[in-house]
Amino acid sequence: MLPFNIGFAEMALIGIVAVMLFGSRLPEVAGQLGRSYQQFRKGLDEIKSNIKTDVDLDINSSVNQLPDYSSQPEDDYDAPSSPVFDAPEEEE
């Protein structure tokens, strides 16, 4: 079974039409198609690598922008306090 569910009869028909259209230039046309496909794949791989590089740079730069809390002294920290409850005065 060939890709896209194309059988042998369909492939033969496509071959016959290609020979009728291009004749003796068929090897040249096939070579040009192969080179075009190769350039397309090379460009696609380049785009993928650029995107991967950009994503890696964004991740690394965001990690480097985090504040460094390890060098701050502990005296700088104010402990949270809860509100103080004052009981109402008793009336006599």
**50 is in which domain, residue-wise?**
24-58
What is the pTM assigned to this prediction?
0.46
How far is it between the farthest Cα atoms of the chain? 119
Q: Considering the domain boundaries, does residue 10 fall inside one?
A: no
Q: Considering the domain boundaries, does residue 18 fall inside one?
A: no
Write down the H helix ranges in the chain. 8-22, 26-64
CB atoms within 10 A of CB 85: 5
One-letter amino acid identity for 33?
A: L
Q: d(Cα 19, Cα 26) in Å, to the nearest integer?
A: 7
Tens-digit pLDDT profile for residues 11-63: 899 889 988 888 888 889 889 999 999 999 999 999 999 888 888 777 766 66
Q: Considering the domain boundaries, does residue 37 fall inside one?
A: yes
What are the structure tokens assigned to 47, written together? 């785009």
Q: Considering the domain boundaries, does residue 87 fall inside one?
A: no
Number of domains in the chain: 1
Q: Considering the domain boundaries, does residue 75 fall inside one?
A: no
